[in-house]
Amino acid sequence: MEEDEWRTDINLANYAPIQHILERCVAFFPTLSSGAIDPIEPVRVGLRPFRKQNARVAHEAHTSIIHNYGHGGAGVTLSWGCAWEVADLMDTFFENTTAESNALA
């Protein structure tokens, strides 16, 4: 996680952390030094928003919105549990919506 780092134009020439990652990889596995770096897409950048208060998985009251964000670099790790939580929130929302509709009928 890099706080307040929002640039998506980083590359091997303009961002030292990427250079250091490559150097450590080559030191660990020297064969990589003879590998070719893709000239079209040498570095991929993705923003992974993080919340200090933990990921947010919550139903927005009085709406049909369910929030599921702020996982940071743990998105893949947390994805299954958060998906189950979202599914449970959706079930509860639809049960309540159906109950309200039946009460009005």
Query: What pLDDT sits at residue 79?
Result: 87
Q: Which residue has the tokens 């991929």?
A: 44
Give the pLDDT mean for 25-31. Answer: 95
Q: Is the pLDDT of residue 1 over 60?
A: no
For residues 21 and 27, give the distance between their C-alpha atoms in angstroms, rounded to a whole number. Answer: 10
CA atoms within 13 A on the CB side of 67: 12
With 0-12 CB in 10 A as exposed, 13-18 as middle and 19+ as buried, what is 98? Answer: exposed
- pLDDT digits 0-9 by tens, 54-88: 899 999 998 989 999 988 888 888 889 999 999 99
pTM score, whole prediction: 0.55
Which of 2-6, 33-37, 74-78, 98-102 has maximum average pLDDT?
33-37
- Percentage of the chain beyond pLDDT 90 is 37
